[in-house]
Amino acid sequence: MQKKSVKDLNLKGKKVLMRADFNVPLDESGNITDDIRIRAALPTVEYILSQGGKLILMSHLGRPKGEVKENMRLTPVAKRIQELLNKPVKKLNDCIGPEVRDAVNDIKEGEILLLENLRFYKQETKNDPEFGKQLASLGDVFVNDAFGTCHRAHASTEGVTHYLESASGFLLQKEIDYFQKINTSAEKPFVLILGGAKVADKIPVIENMLNKVDTILIGGAMAYTFLKQTGVDIGSSRYEEDMADTSKSILDKAKQKNVEIMLPIDHVVCDNIDEPKNITVTSDANIKTGLIGVDIGPKTVEVFQEKIKNAKTIVWNGPMGIFEKDEFSKGTKAIAQAMAESSATSVIGGGDSAAAVKKFGLSNKMSHISTGGGASLEYLEGKTLPGVAALTDL
C-alpha cells in the first residue's frame, strides 16, 4: 500500500485536521503520568506548523461511552503540549458545533487548536457519516498520526477520509513501514517471540507468521496450553482447554512448514501468585501438581537468547511471565536485554511488551516500539487496518 504522507501535502495556509492518540494515563488529580504518546506526535505537529499549516488536533481519552465525563476532558493534554512546544494551545470545549466552527475560522498560520474528547459522542466509534462529515468540515486536509486507533473504522480515522485529502503523519508512516517490511520482506533468520496470557489472542498471528518466520519462541501463560499438547505436566498453570485442538494443529502445521516452535524447557514456579511463599525453578519442562508457572526458567532463557543472537529480524509481542512482579520478571527482562544487544531489526508490538521494555530501561535500544498494541497485532495477523487503508493513495 503506497499512501500519501504528510510530506506529500501542500500545507501552507491550510487548515490541517490531525488525528493524534492522546489517550494518556491520568492520576486522580488529573495529572498526566506518562506523556510518551504526546511526545510521539510532536514531530508531525512541528512539521505542520513549520510548513505554515493551521493545526486542529483531535483525539479520544479513556472510554466515556458517548457521555461528557469531566475527568476525561483533554485539558491536561493541551497544557502538556503547550509546555513541550512552548507555544499556546487553544483547547475547545467541544469537537463539533458553531463555537468550534467559529474558533477554526479564526485560526491563523502556525496556531494550534485542540478539540474536546471525540468519544463524548457515540457517533465517533459508530463511524456515523454525519459526525465524520462535521469533523471533516473543520479542515482542508487530514493527517492521521494515531496508529493505536487505526484498526478501528471510527469517524475520526476512517469517516473523515471520505471528504478530505488524507495522509499519514510521521509516527503512523514509521509504523506502516516497519510492519509492511515484516509482512513482506523481513531479513532472515526471522524470529517471532510470543507471550502473554491467552493462546486465543495470538493464534491469528501465528497462522499468518508461519509463512514468514524461521523460529517462534513461546513463553508466558499461553505456553502451558501448548506444552500440555506435547505431553508435559503443567501442574496448576493456566490451561485453555478450548484451545487444545488449535494448539495441537499449530504445532503440526509448523512441523509441515519446517518452522521451529520452541517452548519453555524449565520454569519459575510458585504455589500462589498473589502471596508466593515457595518460588522455585523446575529441573525440566514438567511442573508438579499444585505449582503454577509464572516465568520462563534460566535454561529456557539461554536457548531463547541463542536464537535471538543469530536472528536478523525479531518481533516480540507478549511478556514471558508476570513481569509486573519483580520476582517473576527475570525471563522477560533477559529476553528484552538479548534483543537490546542484538544487531537485528527489533520490533516490539506495543502493549505489555512495550511496558516491559520501558520498565527495564531498554526502549532506546530497540529499532521500533509500536504505539498500538491492538493495531500492531492486527498487522501481524495480516489484516488491513481501516485507518491506513482509508488514506489517499500516492
- Answer with the one of 132, 147, 173 that is the final residue of a domain: 173
Looking at the fold, whether 137 and 250 belong to one and the same domain comes out as no
Q: Which of 1-5, 57-61, 122-126, 388-392 has the lowest mean pLDDT?
A: 1-5
Is the predicted pLDDT of residue 1 greater than 70, yes or no?
Answer: no
For residue 149, give every residue at least 6 positions away whose Cβ sits within 8 Å of its Cβ, in sequence order, or none.
19, 21, 60, 156, 157, 372, 375, 387
Q: What is the mean pLDDT of residues 92-114?
A: 97
Which of the four pLDDT bands, split at 50, 70 and 90, describes residue 67? very high
Task: Give yes or no for a contact between 343 and 311, defined as CB atoms under 8 angstroms apart.
Answer: no
Residue 24's φ and ψ, nearest 5 degrees, are -95, 155
**Interval 149-179: pLDDT, tens:** 999 999 999 999 999 999 999 999 999 999 9
Measured between alpha carbons, how far is 324 from 321 in angstroms, rounded to an integer? 9
Any catalytic annotation for residue 52? no
Residue 346 lies in a domain: yes
Q: Which of 181, 374, 382, 383 is catalytic?
A: 374
Shared domain for 159 and 191, answered yes or no, is no
What is the structure's pLDDT at 157?
A: 97
Q: Judge whether 50 lies within some domain.
A: yes
* Same domain? 161 vs 235: no
- Whether residue 110 sits in one domain with residue 191: no
Q: What is the DSSP letter of 114?
A: E
**pLDDT at residue 277 greater than cutoff 90:** no
pLDDT, average across residues 178-196: 94
Q: Which of 72, 63, 75 is nearest to 125 (CA)?
A: 63
Catalytic residue among 37, 119, 152, 228: 37
- Residue 66 backbone zone (phi > 0: left; psi -120 to 50: alpha; other: beta): left
130 and 205, same structural domain? no
26 within some domain: yes
**Average of pLDDT values for 383-393?**
95
Give pLDDT tens digits for 23-34: 999 999 999 998
Please identify which of the residues 169, 196, 297, 351 carries the catalytic annotation. Answer: 351
Q: Which residue among 173, 204, 236 closes a domain?
A: 173
Is 350 a catalytic site residue? no
Cell numbers standing for residue 130: 454525519
219 annotated active-site: no
Buried-exposed string 326-358: b where 16+ CB fall within 10 A, e elsewhere: eebbbbbbbbbbbbbebebbbbbbbbbbbbbbe
User: What was the pLDDT predicted at 374?
Assistant: 87
Report the pLDDT value the prediction gives residue 26, as an integer from 0 to 100: 95
Report the CATH number that the domain containing residue 13 is assigned in CATH: 3.40.50.1260
Co-location of 198 and 298 in the same domain: yes
pLDDT of residue 385: 94
What range does the domain containing 282 cover? 186-380
User: Is 47 domain-assigned?
Assistant: yes
Q: Measured on CA atoms in the order 37, 38, 42, 45, is the torsion positive or negative? A: positive
Helix (H/G/I), strand (E/B), else coil: 332 = helix
Residue 373, amino acid: G
Query: Domain boundary at 128, 146, 173, which?
Result: 173
pLDDT digits (tens, 9 = 90+) for 209-236: 999 999 999 999 999 999 999 999 999 9
Res 36: pLDDT: 87
pLDDT at 65 over 80: yes
Q: What is the pLDDT of residues 305-326, one digit of tens each?
A: 999 999 999 999 999 999 999 9
Classify residue 387: in a domain, yes or no: no
Residues 127 and 22 in one domain: yes
Chain length of the chain = 394
Output the pLDDT for position 167. 98
Percent of the chain exceeding pLDDT 70 equals 100
Checking if the pLDDT of 50 tops 70, the result is: yes
Looking at the domain assignment, is residue 389 inside a domain? no
List residues bridging with 346 in a β-sheet: 314
pLDDT for residue 135 is more than 90: yes
Is 340 strand, coil or helix? helix
d(CA 364, CA 5): 25
Do 109 and 240 lie in one domain? The reply is no
How confident is residue 350, by pLDDT bands cut at 50, 70 and 90?
Answer: confident
Whether residues 165 and 142 share a domain: the answer is yes
Q: 203 and 75 in one domain?
A: no
Are residues 190 and 157 both part of a single domain?
Answer: no
Summarize the confidence of residues 100-108 as an average pLDDT: 97
Overall domain count for the chain: 2
- What digits encode the pLDDT tens for the residues 278-288? 899 999 999 99
Q: Residue 327: inside a domain, yes or no?
A: yes
pLDDT of residue 166: 98
- Pair 91, 206 in one domain: no
Residue 140 domain-assigned (yes or no): yes
Q: For 145-175, give one letter per residue: b (16+ CB within 10 A) or e.
A: bbbbbbbbbbbbbbbbbebbbbbbbbbbbbb
